[in-house]
């Protein structure tokens, strides 16, 4: 039987980050049932627009290395025409655009416009975000341009599904979810006790983990403000901050110093390669996402991949993935006292609640696992 053909336009290896990981995960879950090809970027962001150290995955262990054709330069229109031609020649049954940032509005518009005549009802935009978290005044315009030629959408959270109502103009919106990223659980030979010792934590220390790149909307300052009250009640609680700072790190160090909590806060300021991610999740007791705004988060899905409970704020789609008191806690955003109270509640609850078992049960119902069936439905409805 000849497999239906799907072309995905989006980032994949050698790029790093959540979008590349998601696209590669889509490739992996669909490849057994479909003939899937990824049209990747040869230039994703110009260096002037990228605040990190590198856009490439420099890990020693590559966890998702989906095959792709790297032909799109995000700022070179000639490559957009070439990409459209390559996709046309594939004669796909479905074209999937991964949409997450208005910066890609022009390239997505041109490529999808060139494909619309031949594949007008076969263009699906998967929307991880509709408007970027730190959106500027012209992002809404770029978004409308970028997704203009979509014949349908797929949202990855309820909040994105709701937001799409302002952009979809009656076009159908399907619903899926991010996968659980258990791919970082590489079964390292290092024991948690050894890792704790290497990081100068005590065996009995309780570790709160903030993981991932730091930007203002992530609310790290609120979490740091919560620490004095947390320490006052539980002196053995330590905050481990791990990630690359896209925001100035100096103000966070200053905040830690002024609150006199240096002995209870450890900062590892760097991009974490794949092989080291498990070191930090394995020693933590709970993962905290004190975000001030969000849609969904790969950090939460990595936490679940390690069977770790979470504390998340009630913004975007974060709360959709948390079973209160069973897999974690949902709190008010921007409130240090709420974080402190949630940590205290967790320390009490963990004596009687099997968080790991609850998380395992929830993962079996993850909508991402049903993506092949949803794609089949979409193709049949075209």
Q: Report the pLDDT value the prediction gives residue 132, as an integer from 0 to 100.
A: 62
Angle between helices 336-349 and 220-233 (to 10 degrees): 50
Parallel, antiparallel, or unpaired: how do β-strands 310-313 and 286-289 relate? parallel
268: left (phi over 0), alpha (psi -120 to 50) or beta: beta
The CA distance from 344 to 350, in Å, is 10
Q: Which residue has the tokens 């609310």?
A: 219
Q: Report the pLDDT value the prediction gives residue 104, as an integer from 0 to 100.
A: 96
Residues 29-77 have pLDDT tens digits of: 999 999 999 999 999 999 877 777 788 998 999 898 899 999 999 999 9
The CA distance from 368 to 31, in Å, is 14
The CA distance from 210 to 117, in Å, is 47
In eight-state DSSP terms, residue 15 is B
Are 116 and 149 contacting, i.e. CB atoms less than 8 angstroms apart? yes
CB atoms within 10 A of CB 170: 6
What are the φ and ψ backbone dihedral angles of 370, each rounded to 5 degrees? -95, 10
The CA distance from 260 to 215, in Å, is 23
| DSSP-based helix, strand, coil % in the chain, nearest 5 | 45, 20, 40
Q: Report the pLDDT value the prediction gives residue 134, as an integer from 0 to 100.
A: 52
Q: Domains in the chain, ordered, with CATH?
A: 5-179+366-381 (3.40.50.2000), 182-363 (3.40.50.2000)
The CA distance from 157 to 296, in Å, is 7
DSSP per-residue string spanning 48-106:
GG--SS-SB---SS-S-----EEEEETT-HHHHHHHHHHHHHH--SEEEEEE--GGGHH
Alpha carbon of 310 to those of 24, 303, 342: distances in Å? Answer: 25, 7, 10
**Sign of the C-alpha dihedral, residues 364, 302, 12, 104?**
positive
Alpha carbon of 165 to those of 104, 155, 320: distances in Å? Answer: 21, 11, 19
The tens place of each residue's pLDDT in the chain, 382 residues long, gives 799 999 999 999 999 989 999 999 999 999 999 999 999 999 999 987 777 778 899 899 989 889 999 999 999 999 999 999 999 999 999 999 999 999 999 999 999 999 999 999 999 999 988 876 555 667 889 999 999 999 999 999 999 999 898 889 999 999 999 999 999 987 667 788 899 999 999 999 999 999 999 999 999 999 999 999 999 999 999 999 999 999 899 999 999 999 999 999 999 999 999 999 999 999 999 999 999 988 888 999 999 999 999 999 999 899 999 999 999 999 999 999 999 999 999 999 999 999 999 999 888 888 999 999 999 999 999 9
Q: Report the pLDDT value the prediction gives residue 47, as an integer from 0 to 100.
A: 84
């Amino acid at each position: 039987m000849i497999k239906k053909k799907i072309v995905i336009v989006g980032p994949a290896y050698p790029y790093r980050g959540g979008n590349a990981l998601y696209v590669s995960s889509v490739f992996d879950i669909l490849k057994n049932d479909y003939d899937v090809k990824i049209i990747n970027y040869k230039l994703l962001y110009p260096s002037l627009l990228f605040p990190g150290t590198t856009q490439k995955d420099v890990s020693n262990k590559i966890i998702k290395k989906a095959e792709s054709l790297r032909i799109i330069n995000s700022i070179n229109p000639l490559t957009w025409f070439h990409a459209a031609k390559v996709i046309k020649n594939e004669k796909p049954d479905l074209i999937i655009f991964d949409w997450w940032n208005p910066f890609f509005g022009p390239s997505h518009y041109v490529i999808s416009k060139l494909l619309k005549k031949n594949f007008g009802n076969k263009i699906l935009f998967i929307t991880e975000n509709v408007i970027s978290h730190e959106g500027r005044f012209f992002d809404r315009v770029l978004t409308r341009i970028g997704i203009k030629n979509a014949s349908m959408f797929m949202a990855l959270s309820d909040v994105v599904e709701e937001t799409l109502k302002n952009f979809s103009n009656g076009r159908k919106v399907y619903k899926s979810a991010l996968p659980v990223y258990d791919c970082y659980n590489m079964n390292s030979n290092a024991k948690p006790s050894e890792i704790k010792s290497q990081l100068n934590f005590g065996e009995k220390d309780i570790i709160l983990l903030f993981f991932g790149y730091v930007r203002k909307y992530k609310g790290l300052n609120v979490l740091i403000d919560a620490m004095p009250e947390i320490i006052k009640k539980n002196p053995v609680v330590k905050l481990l901050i791990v990630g690359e700072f896209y925001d100035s790190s100096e103000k966070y160090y200053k905040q830690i110093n002024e609150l006199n909590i240096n002995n209870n806060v450890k900062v590892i300021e760097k991009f974490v390669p794949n092989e080291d991610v498990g070191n930090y999740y394995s020693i933590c007791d709970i993962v905290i996402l004190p975000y001030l705004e969000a849609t969904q988060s790969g950090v939460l899905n990595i936490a679940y991949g390690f069977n770790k409970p979470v504390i998340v704020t009630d913004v975007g789609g974060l709360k959709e993935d948390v079973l209160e008191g069973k897999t974690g806690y949902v709190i008010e955003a921007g409130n240090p006292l709420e974080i402190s109270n949630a940590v205290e509640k967790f320390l009490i609850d963990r004596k009687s609640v099997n968080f790991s078992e609850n998380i395992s049960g929830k993962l079996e119902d993850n909508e991402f696992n049903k993506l092949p069936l949803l794609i089949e439905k979409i193709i049949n409805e075209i």
